Structure formats: structure tokens, C-alpha cells
Amino acid sequence: MAITMKGKDLVSIHDLSREETEQILDTAHILKMKHKLGEIYHPLKGKALGMIFQKSSTRTRVSFEVGMWQLGGYALFLGANDLQLNRGETIADTARNLSRYLDGIMIRTFAHQDVIELAESSSVPVINGLTDLLHPCQVLADLFTIREKKNNLIGLKLAYIGDGNNMAHSLMFGGAKMGMHIVICSPSGFEPDPEVTRLSKLDAAKSGATITIKNDPAEAVQAADVIYTDVWTSMGMETEYEQRLKTFSRFQVNGALLEKAKEDVLVMHCLPAHRGEEITDEVIDGPHSIVFDQAENRLHVQKAIMALIM
């Protein structure tokens, strides 16, 4: 590969160079083609990935575990009750111990600072599988999927409709890195984190991208190439569910909203979807939806990440 990424952590897309981001996408394409052709490719033979899950998961666990197996390695699931973290062992000590056994660590957790501390203390690469702040692996898969469908990323407009959450944050970082125009449309008071907005705009200035925050969905999707949404109530926010249903009611991605975008607009959702809330059945199952293509591509992009850094 053109750039050596061995030993590099993936905590945030903001930490990647544009060249590194492109290398992940290019490698994912190669690995996907190898898989479709039935070619056996085991660059991680004899290597082990530890997967720490303090948040439940469907796509993250299955895609990392299967991906590691397809690359010839072994994935070890470590649930919330499987580690001494719940009994007072520090993150730093956990990282130092796991580094003696493993060749890489993936963690899916709540506090973003925990991933930062894990990466700082680990001597093996750490992959952020999701935090309350960021979801970089998902967005790298999203960028890969959009590029598959549109053959390019530069200059495309993506309108994200919903909560200014970890998905919105990583879409801002990913789009800014790759020269896309990102519009985040959230209810007042639910906009993205100001520091993430500031940093993503710095990245955007280098790539020719733009980052815009809006509160009107109809305005946000004008001339959009991609419409993206996510659940209104993320894990850990269940007590806010009823209030969020009311607050976000006009932020639903439905047929009427799609009519305001480009005729060939793509619709994306990181899943799981709460059908009838943030997105309707007619849209998620309709001709514009590439939701399950992006879910599939989690496998190939995460394989690329692991192959490059482990």
C-alpha cells in the first residue's frame, strides 16, 4: 500500500489524513472483490482481535467477527461482564494486559474518553467501534457505499436529518475529509457538538467541502444527492423517548421529503431503524434506499481497517 498504517489507532476520522481515508476505501474495494470472487486471503493469519462490548450490537459484532475470520485471524468477544473493568480495574491497566495477548482491540462503549485512554495505554492498535460521540467505522462504510453508487464523493451533498449525535459527528468528519457538502438538520437544541463542528469545518476548508447546520428538513434536502437518518433516541437515552417523538416529529424521512431532493437521491440509515418514526417503510424499502448495501459494506470496510493497521 502507498501509506503504511500498521500500528495506527482508529479513534476518529478526524485523525486520518485524506490519503489514509482513501486507502481504507480502496482496500475495502479490493477485499470486497476478492470475497465476491471466492478468493481466500489471510493477511491476519495467526492474529487475534479482542472485541470489547459495553454497548449491545448486531452489525458491529457480526461484521468484525466474520471479517476477522475471513482475514484468517481470530476474534474474541469480551462482553460487559467478561472484564475486570466492571470491578474497578482501570482502563489503562486493561489496555496494558490485553496488549500482551492481542494484536488489536475493538471497543464499543459509551464514553469517548474511554477509547482515547485505551488507545493511549495500548501497545496494539485500537479501533473505535462506537462511542456516544463518534461512529467512525460506520461512516467509512457509508463513504465507501456512496462512492460505489455515485463513483465519486467530491462535491456531493449529503443531508442528515435527525439528532446531532455520534452519526452526525462522524458524517461531518468523513464528508469534510473527502470533499463532500454536509448539511446537518436537527431540531433546535439538538444540533451537533460545537467542537466537532469547529474541527470538521477546519477539515472542510482543506478539501473544498462545506459543513452547514440547519433546522428545516425541507430546506436541508434541496438538491441533496444523499439523505441520511438515524434513530431519534440513541442507546442510553431511553427515558427521553416520548419527548423526543414529539420534538422530532417533523424530521421524518418520508416520501414527501424525498420529493424535495434530487430525482436520483440515495437514502441511507445506519440501522437499527425505528420504522414509522425517523423513516417510513415506503422509503427504507423503496427504490432510493441503499440501507442494506451500507450494512453489508461494514464487513468489507472493517476488514480493510484491520488488514491495514494490524
Can 198 be counted among the known catalytic residues? no
Catalytic residue among 23, 70, 138, 294: 138
- Dist CA 115 CA 52 (whole Å): 11
Can 108 be counted among the known catalytic residues? yes
- Dist CA 176 CA 201 (whole Å): 7
Q: Return the closest-CA partner of residue 157 out of 249, 248, 219, 230.
A: 219
Catalytic residue among 147, 181, 298, 300: 298
Catalytic residue among 270, 288, 294, 302: 270
Bridge partners (DSSP) of residue 229 are: 161, 269
Bridge-based pairing state of the strands 104-108 and 181-185? unpaired
Catalytic residue among 14, 61, 108, 181: 108
Can 132 be counted among the known catalytic residues? no
DSSP state of 14: G
Catalytic residue among 61, 112, 135, 147: 135
Whether residue 209 contacts residue 175, with contact meaning beta carbons closer than 8 Å, is answered with yes
- Dist CA 140 CA 142 (whole Å): 5
Bridge partners (DSSP) of residue 76 are: 50
Catalytic residue among 230, 244, 269, 300: 230
Whether residue 180 contacts residue 173, with contact meaning beta carbons closer than 8 Å, is answered with no
Can 230 be counted among the known catalytic residues? yes
Helix (H, G, I), strand (E, B) or coil at 63: helix
Can 138 be counted among the known catalytic residues? yes
Can 270 be counted among the known catalytic residues? yes
Q: Return the closest-CA partner of residue 107 out of 87, 136, 67, 141.
A: 136
Catalytic residues: 108, 135, 138, 230, 270, 298
